[in-house]
Amino acid sequence: EAQVTQNPRYLITVTGKKLTVTCSQNMNHEYMSWYRQDPGLGLRQIYYSMNVEVTDKGDVPEGYKVSRKEKRNFPLILESPSPNQTSLYFCASSLYPWGRRIMNTEAFFGQGTRLTVV
């Protein structure tokens, strides 16, 4: 089954304690991205990756890091989490970057990780 898998689904942590949220896709997609979802703000892009070893900032990258050492994995790292990073996080992947003039640019999303930083 084609899917994007995030772990953990729920996480409560304390301010300053480093954490990693994992994301893995089994569709051989090149393009992966992280979003955070907050009430009234929709989904905002944190970081994205066009391919292995190629990453770039999205709209709200402060306080986050990513890496893309393998095509299937795209972990999100919070080196020193703060309460304003409490949010619902989604990893997404697609075969091609969004916006290219071809039909198949659907983004597949994981189930989400609800993070609480106290």
DSSP string, 62-98: TT-EE--SSSSB--EEESS--GGG-EEEEEEEESS-T
CA distance 68 to 98: 18
Binding-residue total with another protein (CB under 8 A): 29
CA distance 114 to 88: 4
Minimum gap (Å) between residue 118 Cβ and another protein: 22
- Sequence-separated contacts (24+) of 45-50 with Cβ below 8 Å: 46/76, 46/89, 47/76, 49/74, 50/97
Q: Which stretch binds another protein (CB under 8 A): 11-19, 22-30, 41-49, 63-71?
A: 41-49
Q: Which stretch binds another protein (CB under 8 A): 21-29, 38-46, 60-68, 74-82?
A: 38-46
Interface residue with another protein among 46, 92, 115, 117 (CB under 8 A) is: 92
Minimum gap (Å) between residue 36 Cβ and another protein: 11
Contact positions vs another protein (CB under 8 A): 4, 31, 33, 35, 40-45, 48, 50, 56, 59, 90, 92, 97-101, 105-112
